[in-house]
Structure 1
Amino acid sequence: MTTSPDKLMLLDEVMNGLMSRYRERVPDVSGVVNALMDEGVIGSAGEIENDHIAFRTMGVPNLGIQSFEKIFLHYGYQKRDFYNFAEKKLTAYWYAPPEPRFPRIFVSELRVHELSERAQAIIHSYTDTVTADPVDGLNLDDAAAVDAFLHQPLWRTPTLADYQTLLAESEYAAWVIYNRYYLNHFTVSVHNLKPGYHTIQDFVAFLERRGFRLNTAGGVVKTSPDGVLLQASTVAQMLDAEFAGGETHRIAGSYVEFAERRVLPQFAHLPPDQIRREHRRDGFEAGNADKIFESTFTSQTHQ
């Protein structure tokens, strides 16, 4: 199925809006880009391939994946594999882009009904104010409106007490109750960089040399069982957040991920200049993603 040029142009605008606000909010983005330029790996930020972007949602009526996915399905994305994160009480899917120049999208949602009654009551006190699916009222052919929607609050600003109660039970819940649909992370495709930086081990060594703090949950490098998807990430930037009533508190914002997708065994004979996206490991790995989620957790941010 081909996507119309008009839809692709809209998607470009939405992605540009997402990335521009994300760069403002996550200093590590410019930090990584500038370090790569400083070492002569790239000439500009545009040379970086964005492997995927990720969003977090609440699994409650009118919201969650079933609402959020409508935006990107409209622009030609195709829904792919299901993932279950039992311990974190999360469900997720990934979405394949209409053209290889666009990033994959990973969308997760919290299974709110599996939390304690206290946590459920707190979450519903905010999300129950959303009485209809907000995407149904959105003009998806208006890129500016979609960009604004992805950066606007869907419910009132939480109190610090509610945030901290949720944090004690589900750090994911606390992140979403404050940050809503803000872009959770974008991902540098390291395999397309020049030698010396194009494996995850080389790239991690570069990041550590440049002083970036990396997520150590499950090890700095998270490797899929088949050995061909390797991922790492920075620890989320801490932000001064203002809560209801004017209280402020430092909380986890967003972070940057790095992925190496190795060539699949059946394409190992291809010369490097013939290797394209379809020759590399696609999709995601629940074990890797489970630990990447922890980039925003206090076990990482408070190290």
Structure 2
Amino acid sequence: MSQEHLSEQVEHFFTNLWQDYISKTPSAPKVHQVLGQGAEIINDHVAFRTFNIAPVRLEKLAEIFENMGYFANGDYHFEAKKLRAKHYEHLNPDYPKIFISELLVEEFSEQAQRAIADMVASIDPREVEKTEFLYSGTHWQVSHEVYEMLLEESEYAAWMSAFGFCANHFTVSVNRLPGYEQLQDVNDKLKQEGFKLNTSGGEIKGSPEVYLEQSSTMADRIEVAFSDETALIPSCFYEFAKRYELPDGKMYTGFVAASADKIFESTNAKGE
């Protein structure tokens, strides 16, 4: 595939992904309006969630990105949340990094495992080969009761049951945001405009010492039609990242597990 065709494919993918994301995250265009004020906003990374069950294992979803010129560049483990993750980068630094996490399903109760296995069994493996699978949403219908049951064990599993495959969040690159030097300035502007920020582990997670600072809004709440009723639940959120140079002068491109652990809590249904 020519470089030009590959670029078109990547840009087409992110355009469609963004449209799907803002349909679940009505505050996202307002974030752009408040921070960008008409300037283009460069995204640092986009995050996806999945289960460690075939055919939707992390590495399987990653193949879609690898086919678009991405390469793996970091492994992460989240013991308390029972997750593992990897991040992927593109040779073109203007394209967002990709952060994919997967739930270690076998570490949950039999009841939760059964519910998740039933969801995954509804997926046609041929669909997972397609780029658009990454914004295809749910391939199942679960009850609000199942959502609540999963929520007791894992906010992540409950979120997946309601939203399936889509961007969990986009992330503004503060380094490339005109008019802002510090992440604190971004946070102050957002709060001034009425956005609620994730305060788990502090408003700013990380520090210049670990070469990455992150903050995020709390997820929007939207109505989701479950099989038995409609409920207002947290959907997706927007993150903000400021990166720092390593001692060798190169910009740090990885992630900090301790900070990402707190960012996951932006979709907490009980984090009011």
TM value normalised by structure 1:
0.85
The equivalences for 1:260-271 within 5 A come to 260-267=242-249
The equivalences for 1:131-142 within 5 A come to 132=125, 134-136=127-129, 138=130
Amino acid at match of 1:228: Y
The equivalences for 1:1-303 within 5 A come to 4-37=3-36, 42-44=37-39, 47-130=40-123, 132=125, 134-136=127-129, 138=130, 146-147=131-132, 149-195=133-179, 197-224=180-207, 226-245=209-228, 247-267=229-249, 279-300=250-271, 303=272
Cα deviation digits, residues 201-242 of structure 1 (max 9, x gap)? 111111111111000110110015834200000000001110
Q: Secondary structure at the match of 2:140?
A: coil
CA distance in 2, matches of 1:173, 1:3: 39
1:57 offset after TM fit, Å?
A: 0.4
Aligned residues: 272
Contact kept, 8 Å, 2:208 with 2:244, in 1: the verdict is: no
Contact kept, 8 Å, 2:138 with 2:162, in 1: the verdict is: no
- RMSD value, Cα: 1.8
CA distance in 2, matches of 1:208, 1:98: 35
Contact kept, 8 Å, 1:224 with 1:287, in 2: the verdict is: no
Q: Which has the larger radius of gyration?
A: 1
Amino acid at match of 1:8: S
TM value normalised by structure 2:
0.94
Gaps of 5+ in 2: none
Amino acid at match of 1:125: D
Contact kept, 8 Å, 2:25 with 2:237, in 1: the verdict is: yes
CA distance in 1, matches of 2:93, 2:175: 15
- Do the aligned partners of residues 109 and 199 (structure 1) sit closer, same or farther apart at CA in structure 2, a change above 3 Å counting? same
Q: Secondary structure at the match of 2:200?
A: coil
CA distance in 1, matches of 2:199, 2:268: 11
CA distance in 1, matches of 2:93, 2:208: 25
Amino acid at match of 1:73: E
Cα deviation digits, residues 1-57 of structure 1 (max 9, x gap)? x972212211110111001221232122111112235xxxx433xx21110000000
Contact kept, 8 Å, 2:170 with 2:238, in 1: the verdict is: yes
